Amino acid sequence: MESKREINEVDDSISVVVDNDGIVDELRNRIERRLLSSSPMPAFRSIFKVPEKIRSKKEPAYKPDIVSIGPYHSGPHDDSGKKFRLMENVKHWYLHCLLSRVNITLAGLIKEVMDLEELARDCYADPIDPNINFVDMMVLDGCFLIELFLKGPDHNDMNDPVYSVSCTRDYLCHDLILLENQLPWFVLQRLYYLTAVENFPSEENASSSLIHLVLGFFERIIPKDPNKSIPNPKRPGKILHILDLIRAVIVAPFEVPKEQRKEKQTIPNVTTLSKAGIRFQKGPNACILDINFKNGVFTIPPLPFAETTEPLFRNLIAFEQCHCKRTHKITSYAVLMESFIDSSKDIDLLCERQILGNGLSAQDAAQFFNLLYNDATVDKFYYSGLCANVNDYYNSKWNKWMGNLWREYLDTPWAIISLIAAFILLVLTTLQTVYTMHQYYHPPK
């Protein structure tokens, strides 16, 4: 039809024919080739690359140092191949050691993992390098982890690079808690069951045993009572991977406060609150998240500092940010602690109360809390009610007056004794004055 073709006059002498139908068809074909029939992100995703906005704050906390687990830091195009070379050799040695003791062949393991391949791929939210042999990697990495956990933290073998060099295990602890460095738990569980099937009547029994092995390996880095070991927990729902298991152990004992408010409130720092008469005391070690405030007293479980404390918390927060079904409990804890701590003075006070360990300098610890959750969101702040109660107490003029009185005059036992003595003296002086006046106005007859 004539309406589909237009003739434009140029300089009254040149006619240019524009074929609108041809342009539309070309654009349509170009767009259709890029259309997706399904979501670009798998529905069962649980292993993510850390969002760039979060990663940029401290990139080393999210990158492995000596070992790559899973596809995100593996493959021919990864620029970290040289630093992983030793542990890649250890992986092949560990696989040989494991196969030499079990009643299943390598071909049998490969076949079993092939049955899980589609489910395992769906656990990774980001694209996987097509040059990676996915099944090969799952078998090698999974068996390496199982052999590592079976050896246990106290293994002693001078021929083993993991245990003959003292710092290697610490590096491994760091690398194996990274969000980008995870294997699906069901792959580990299947491999563990297959390599020790004679010991377990079912895969569920094998999973409980595997949980115990994994927590034993990471016992030193999980915040807990230093005088107690981590008990083998009841299965905390569906475990997604090792980092998810560690998170479950940390948050499982947390009793969610009954009082919740929609708004996220901040509170003054420790030094300011202390000047207002609010006191801080060390709480029980059962769960670091169980922070309470009552009658002007904060009860805070102790948090020890270690080399892995920062990467552990950063990766737990990143995991909560990425996974829609993991609530923001660790993130809420980081937000609250950031409110508490502005400077090294706040750290010093909490260290005096034995609430914070002394693994870092006061300045480094303050910086750690101040930058811990930058650019992270909080869908539900679990300490909103607590913060509201603290602010109500802090803004009370009576409480401020009592706080100043306590700080200025009752801060030491000798000050309290002096005040009591002065009060007794005042009472005696008053009685003596009253008696004298009574004698003057009512002399004895």
Mean pLDDT of 320-343: 92
| pLDDT attached to residue 146 | 96
- Predicted local distance difference test score (pLDDT) of residue 317: 96
What distance lies between CA 193 and its chain's CA centroid? 29
Gyration radius of the chain over CA positions: 32
pLDDT at site 60: 92
Reply yes or no on whether the pLDDT at 88 is more than 70. yes
Q: What is the pLDDT of residue 1?
A: 46
Q: What is the mean pLDDT of residues 157-185?
A: 91
Token pair listed for 47: 């292993």
What is the average per-residue pLDDT within 20-29?
80
Mean pLDDT lowest among 4-8, 60-64, 162-166: 4-8
255-259 own/partner pairs: CB under 8 Å, 24+ apart: 255/287, 255/290, 256/382, 257/382, 257/383, 257/385, 257/386, 258/385, 259/385, 259/386, 259/388, 259/389
Statement: residue 18 has pLDDT above 60: no
Q: How high is the pLDDT of residue 143?
A: 97
The answer, yes or no, to whether residue 159 has pLDDT greater than 70, is: yes
Query: What pLDDT, in 10s, does the model give residues 177-204?
Result: 999 999 999 999 999 999 986 677 677 7
Q: Percent of the chain, pLDDT > 70? A: 80
Q: Which residues contact 49 (CB under 8 A, 6 or more apart)?
A: 72, 125, 126, 180
218 neighbors 172 (Cβ within 8 angstroms): no
Both structure tokens of 167: 């710092």
Give pLDDT tens digits for 403-434.
555 555 545 565 556 667 767 877 777 777 77
Q: How many CB atoms lie within 10 A of CB 215?
A: 20
Asked if residues 277 and 400 have their Cβ atoms less than 8 Å apart, the reply is yes
Which of 27-31, 217-221, 235-239, 267-271 is least confident? 235-239
CB proximity list for 57: less than 8 A, separation 6 or greater: 371, 374, 375
